Amino acid sequence: MANGIDADVLLRRMGGYATRERRRVLELLARSPQPVTAKKLHTTMGQNACDLATIHRTLNHLQKEGMVRSISFDGTSRWFDLVDQGRHHHHMFCTSCNQIEDIPLCRIDDFMDYAASRKGFQISSHVLELFGLCRSCRKKETHRRERVL
Ligand SMILES: [Zn+2]
Ligand SMILES: [Zn+2]
């Protein structure tokens, strides 16, 4: 959920470290409504793209700086999302078509209570992603089953 994030603000925070690649990657991430893979960023950049290795290096750097986080929805690829403190959110990942949708809610009070109150655990962050089938894949799945029967 990057809508509304001002890439300029992030770049200013970077000061002199905002190289052309970092600037470009941050801008694309800010414009993308969903987390994206490095490969997708590379294709989106088009002809004047830097090479994929540079994009990977840039993303790793931005992640180390805490501006970007990566999520491995399928255990092999990594998807990148801007870290925006004001827009904490979760995702639904369709395991059939790889579509990602945001969940702008966070109702995990019971988990927090358990960890903090009962276990005395100091929570610094959390991750929660839902896996399954999106609406259109569910429809396809139903049709497929009906044809088989
Ligand atoms: Zn799907
Ligand atoms: Zn949350």
- Expressed in angstroms and rounded, the spacing between residue 106 Cα and the centre of ligand 2 is 4
CATH for 1-84?
1.10.10.10
Could you tell me the two tokens for 106?
Answer: 């966070």
Concatenate the DSSP letters of all residues of 72-115 into one string: -SSSSS-EEEE--GGG--EEEEETTT--EEEE-----HHHHHII
Q: What is the pLDDT of residue 18?
A: 67
Q: Please list the residue range(s) of the chain that carry CATH number 1.10.10.10.
A: 1-84
Model pLDDT for residues 46-95, shown as the tens digit of each residue: 877 789 999 999 999 999 988 899 999 998 999 999 987 678 889 999 99
Give me ligand 1 centre to Cα 47, in Å.
30
What's the gap in Å between 96 CA and the centre of ligand 2? 24
Architecture of domain 88-149: 2-Layer Sandwich (3.30)
State the average pLDDT over residues 126-145.
Answer: 92
Q: Which ligand is nearest to the CA of 100?
A: 1
What is the 132 CA–ligand 1 centroid distance (Å)?
A: 8
Confidence at residue 4, expressed as pLDDT on a 0 to 100 scale = 53
Q: Which residues have their alpha-adjacent CB atom under 5 A from ion ligand 1?
A: 94, 96-97, 99, 134, 137
pLDDT band of 6, cuts 50, 70, 90 = low
Considering every ligand atom shown, identify the ligand nearest to the alpha carbon of residue 131 and give its number.
1
pLDDT of residue 16: 59
Enter the pTM of the model: 0.78
Name the closest ligand to CA 140: 1
**pLDDT of 10-56, one tens digit each?**
666 666 566 788 888 998 998 888 999 999 999 998 877 789 999 99
Mean pLDDT, residues 126-139 taken together: 94
Ranges in the chain annotated CATH 3.30.1490.190: 88-149
Helix, strand or coil, per DSSP, at residue 71: strand
Other beta carbons less than 10 A from residue 79's beta carbon: 21
Per-residue pLDDT, 101 = 94
